[in-house]
Amino acid sequence: MTELSTVAAPPAPPAAHTPRPGRPAEDPDLGRRIRRRSVTLDGVCAVLGSLLASFGLVWLIYERILPLTGAVGFALVWYAVFLLFLGTVTAMLWGRRAVTDRIVAALMVTLGLIIVALILDQVGYVAFTGRHALFHWNFVTQTMAEVGPLDPFTHGGVWHAMVGSLEQMGIATALAVPLGILAALFLVEVGGPMAQAVRALIQAMTSLPEIVAGLFVYALVVLTLGLPKSGFAAAIALTIMMIPFVARSSEVMLRLVPRSLREASYALGASQWRTVWTVVLPTARSGLTTAVVLGMARAIGETAPLLLVDGLNNYMNADPFQHWQTSLPLYIFEFVRYPQDAERVRAFGAAAVLMALVLILFTLARVLGGKAPGELTRRQKRQMARDRALAAAARAAAEEGGDHGAA
Amino acid sequence: MADTTPTEALGPPLSGAAEVPDVPRQIVARLSGADRAFRALLRGGGLAVFAITGLIGGFLLYRAWDTFRVAGWKFFTTSTWLLGSNHFGIASVLPNGLVIALTALVVAVPCALTAALFISEYAPAVLKRPLVALIDLMAAIPSIVYALWGVFFLQPRILGFSRWLSDHLGGVFPPFKVVGGDMQILFQASPFVAGLIISLMVIPIITSICREVFSQAPSGEREGAYALGASRWGMIRTVVLPYGRGGMIGAIMLGFGRAMGETIVVALFISPVYVFNWHVLHTGGLSIPGLIALWYSESTPTMISALMAAGLVLFVLTLIVNAVAGVIITRSRSGAQTAD
């Protein structure tokens, strides 16, 4: 919510500007920095006041006077009256022109809060439903081998599915990341008309139906090559889902590398691959890491392709090339369809574990990366500060020495 | 110009020498061998994407060939899925998928556009990065978690709303009509509920592309709008939205492609009725991905071939939609800057 009145204030002249003749020298606004604050005290008070006032009014009318009940209806009416009040307050304080602006802003904030609430609700609901299974350590340290549907939650777990998921994700990452980054480099460094087509195709492949990837790998690996369904086949399906994602997000990151850095490298006589290897990739390292880790987070949650090319088993199978290898999504999908409540709870527990893995990867992506190209890490900044201090000290010492020499 | 001698290039022409006009030297950047190899490698990376897409289409077509040969055009006009009597087709599952995807879009598009505008225009600078992270997180939540939440948490709570819609608007708006009584079960596993769940998966896709496009709207034009006295909403309406139109259309189409291909939600519902159900609040409505997930364990070659054919149709359809979306995004004014 911008302070509209500040727009009218005269712009601050640059500090080094000499005052023009005829301009009053002691202008109080001279040099005052104009801050366009998006949240102001007035704005917050207007919103809070409208919220409280509309709550009071609606409570009185809705609950006391009109014969209406129901929480949903109350909330809806309250919100409508709130918007009305907010519009009126805005019109009184900032003029009619600001009304649409404020109301749109309020609608947007509401929608944002609803989305946040939905996400929290998902995570919370899944963990809450699976809590009976989750509260036992054996859930993440044991497999389902020799565990019957009537066994208590102190027996059995999803360790085998976690191992399967992580292995398949690892293989998929190893295959997809080099290909994805190569394709992204092609788009950024080579370009040309073919790059346009590749870009559109990558864009299209990012929303390739999951099940089609599964069908393709089934047709290729099982029907044509004659190999059995296995964890490796699942990993190939994940690779196909991952390549476009990694390529697209790496392209965005590579594009952020300033052109001047490349030109500086060329000016020093470096060849193109040297420039890419020693300038472009290291500059974009943080962003590329984010892209890769986000891709991994995507891959670990893919379910549909696995249905066709892998199967559920209840014992540990650490070898992705032989036999079926259970992964977490597959475990969830199969267990949630069992009729027993206990199995359903296990499925929800597994979903909570899967969410936790995704969240860990996601946090990792934020911690490792998320920096703009060339932005220094905290350690590099400390190092630079140390260097600067040392240099300053050396300069001071040299000047002092010079003074002594002059004296 | 390798044949000019240094004297000619440097000093004024000697009296006897022929007049040589000043022609700018042509700069020819010759790539070294290593560079040529490097560029070939990158080109290979780009071609690999083509190759993978081609392989997917090729293998599906190869495996689906038998079905197309046996069923012919009837594959597109038959509603039922009775393999034994060779009477099967996608005339019901394909439009059902479209209905589900459209329902998802009707919910997702307003939400996603608002969210994108909020992040790019309204949110204070401190909030921007957390909000972008939140949208990324929404995209990273596995679809099976959405499906679990939707089927077991959302569905029982939304049925009342479904009934309310059908009671009050069913007469006015035919798609909301539910025929056959007032039983709760008639409202379960409807395209509407599936669409609602899928819309949550589509929102982050549309939001992130639109946010990217909106944030590229040139600051000169924004400031011009402000200077003419526009409020922030006025500026958005006159500068940001027209600027991002192409990107918005592309993003919505990409979201449509994603919604068409969503499998797990539909597969968890399992309502194997092979009739076209356009009453969105009424139960039933299997889409192509749901069909494949339902029958994948049947291992007769005929069935596999038929599923491959259905998958091929889905693949071609989503690829066309998504590729057109990609071209629209690239061709739009906002996309022209990213693609040099």
In a domain, B303, yes or no: yes
Hey, what amino acid is at A138? N
Q: Are residues A283 and A355 in the same domain?
A: yes
Output the CA–CA distances (angstroms, integers) from residue A152 to A132, A339, A343, in the order listed. Answer: 10, 16, 10
In a domain, B314, yes or no: yes
Whether the pLDDT of residue B241 is over 70: the answer is: yes
A33 DSSP assignment = P
Quote the minimal CA–CA distance from B308 to chain A in Å: 7
pLDDT value for A15: 45
pLDDT value for A129: 82
ipTM beyond 0.90? Answer: no
Which chain A residues are within 8 Å of B52, Cβ to Cβ?
Answer: 205, 240, 243
Quote the minimal CA–CA distance from A383 to chain B in Å: 26
pLDDT value for B305: 84
In a domain, A28, yes or no: no
Helix (H, G, I), strand (E, B) or coil at B88: strand
Output the CA–CA distances (angstroms, integers) from residue A141 to A110, A138, B322, in the order listed. Answer: 42, 5, 43
Give residue B309's domain range. 68-338
Is residue A290 within 8 Å of residue B129, measured between CB atoms? Answer: no
What span, in angstroms and rounded, lies between the C-alpha atoms of B31 and B22? 27
Quote the minimal CA–CA distance from B8 to chain A in Å: 28
What span, in angstroms and rounded, lies between the C-alpha atoms of B161 and B24? 75
In a domain, A88, yes or no: yes
pLDDT-flagged residues of chain A (< 50): 1-19, 406-407
In a domain, A322, yes or no: yes
Q: Are residues A336 and A280 in the same domain?
A: yes
Q: Sorting pLDDT into bands at 50, 70 and 90, what band is B224?
A: very high
Beta strands in chain B (DSSP E): 81-82, 87-88
Determine whether the interchain pair A329/B231 forms a contact, defined as Cβ–Cβ distance below 8 Å: no
Locate the chain A residue with the closest alpha carbon to B125. A38
Q: What is the 3-state secondary structure (H, E, C) of A278-332?
A: HHHHHHCHHHHHHHHHHHHHHHHHCCHHHHHHCCCCCCCCCCCCCCCCCCHHHHH
Determine whether the interchain pair B124/A304 forms a contact, defined as Cβ–Cβ distance below 8 Å: no
Determine whether the interchain pair A215/B136 forms a contact, defined as Cβ–Cβ distance below 8 Å: no
User: Which of B137, B162, B216, B305 best probes binding to A when mutated, by most A CB atoms within 10 angstroms?
Assistant: B137
DSSP A259-289: HHHHHHHHHTT--HHHHIIIIIHHHTHHHHH
Q: What is the average pLDDT score of chain B?
A: 80
Find the CB nearest A198 among B37, B49, B322: B49
Q: Are residues A102 and A182 in the same domain?
A: no
What span, in angstroms and rounded, lies between the C-alpha atoms of A16 and A177? 50
Q: Which residues pair with B88 in a beta bridge?
A: B81
Which chain B residues are within 8 Å of A100, Cβ to Cβ?
Answer: 231, 233-234
- In the block, tokens 């007769």 appear at B300
In a domain, B60, yes or no: no
Find the CB nearest B143 among A4, A303, A359: A303
Mean pLDDT along residues B213-237:
88
Number of domains making up chain B: 1
Q: Sorting pLDDT into bands at 50, 70 and 90, what band is B1?
A: very low
Find the CB nearest A39 among B124, B226, B263: B124
Encode pLDDT of B41-91 as tens digits: 888 888 888 899 899 989 889 888 888 887 777 778 777 777 766 777 777
In a domain, B232, yes or no: yes
Give the pair of three-digit tokens for residue A312: 């559920």
Is some CB atom of chain A closer than 8 A to the CB atom of B173?
A: no
In a domain, A321, yes or no: yes
Q: Which residues pair with B87 in a beta bridge?
A: B82
Pseudo-torsion of CA A261, A263, A268, A274, nearest 10°? 70
pLDDT value for A90: 85
Determine whether the interchain pair B59/A111 forms a contact, defined as Cβ–Cβ distance below 8 Å: no
pLDDT value for A209: 87
Is some CB atom of chain A closer than 8 A to the CB atom of B1?
A: no
Is residue A174 within 8 Å of residue A292, measured between CB atoms? Answer: no
Q: Are residues A360 and A227 in the same domain?
A: yes
Output the CA–CA distances (angstroms, integers) from residue B331 to A245, B334, B335, in the order listed. Answer: 21, 8, 6
Number of domains making up chain A: 2
Give residue A322's domain range. 159-375
Helix (H, G, I), strand (E, B) or coil at B81: strand
Quote the minimal CA–CA distance from B16 to chain A in Å: 39
Q: Are residues A217 and A350 in the same domain?
A: yes
Q: What is the CATH number of the domain that holds A330?
A: 1.10.3720.10
Determine whether the interchain pair B149/A126 forms a contact, defined as Cβ–Cβ distance below 8 Å: yes
Locate the chain B residue with the closest alpha carbon to A204. B322
Q: Are residues A81 and A211 in the same domain?
A: no
Q: Sorting pLDDT into bands at 50, 70 and 90, what band is B5?
A: very low
Q: What is the CATH number of the domain that holds B87?
A: 1.10.3720.10
In a domain, B315, yes or no: yes
In a domain, A137, yes or no: no
In a domain, A146, yes or no: no
In a domain, B220, yes or no: yes
Q: Are residues A290 and A233 in the same domain?
A: yes
In a domain, A380, yes or no: no
In a domain, A178, yes or no: yes
In a domain, B132, yes or no: yes
In a domain, B38, yes or no: no
